[in-house]
Chains A and B, each alone.
Chain A
């Protein structure tokens, strides 16, 4: 007998089956590694070809905002702060373990938005959109890692 999936997991699974997700995979932008609900792991490719892994917390998806943190696939543990994506400008601001090693500093992240509600006015384009779902968060990460403000990794991250 198969386990009964919760509404949030069913919503996530339906979203990753929508064409925009596999098209992004086919274009090499991201890849679903595992679901292990409520903590899917998805890699996002940087401009230097490095695949960075992110572990999401998607409880209450898609009504509740997601949370993501860089993840070490080899040890199945949070990525050490000194191995996070590095960069300048927008990249340095978003990937800032000194602020919070459990989240990305983005308006679409649940942990980051708390206390920064003004972002919803300042950055509506990065606000969480339940109808677009996980693809929206992935597009924002991919845009950052594809930028030349992201400094190439010394070694592969995922």
Chain B
């Protein structure tokens, strides 16, 4: 039985991989050899996990088989909200949904207000999707800055 996973390499789109049942993290890296100049330096993260997976860790048996390969062990996140800036380090496989949840909590927003706010990459109008991984965004080294902004009403 094949092991089916989804994985993204840094800013590239997620891809579906069909691997042998016994495939390990290092199997995935080996399969991707030649695809990326820095593949040997990549760490493999399961979505929303804080720590990279060990090379001998099996890839099968994950409920949510979504992975991210990245050279950064952590991405330094700064979120601006009004006059405050919140800082935290997240793994590259962290979803925007999780970062948003952290940021709205730091901002002291209740659940209803939190849902009316979204992360926008500073200096842009780009609001990454909730399912996107931090590591998929264009980072400055291993850092990225967001503004926590209110979702706008479409009218007029």
Contacts and interface: CB of A to CB of B under 8 A. Distances in A.
Interface residues of A, number: 29
Given A139-B130, A147-B115, A149-B116, A23 B6 contact: yes
B72 interface: no
A24 interface: yes
A124 interface: yes
B154 A106 contact: yes
Contacts of A107: 154
A94 B127 contact: no
Interface stretch (A48-56, A57-65, A69-77, A115-123): A115-123
Interface string B3-14: 000100000011
A10 interface: no
| Residue of B16, B64, B115, B127 most packed against chain A (CB within 10 A) | B115
Contacts of B14: 18-20, 23
A93 interface: yes
Nearest to A90: B153
B126 A19 contact: no
Interface of B: 6, 13-16, 64, 66, 111-112, 115-116, 120, 125-127, 129-131, 151-156
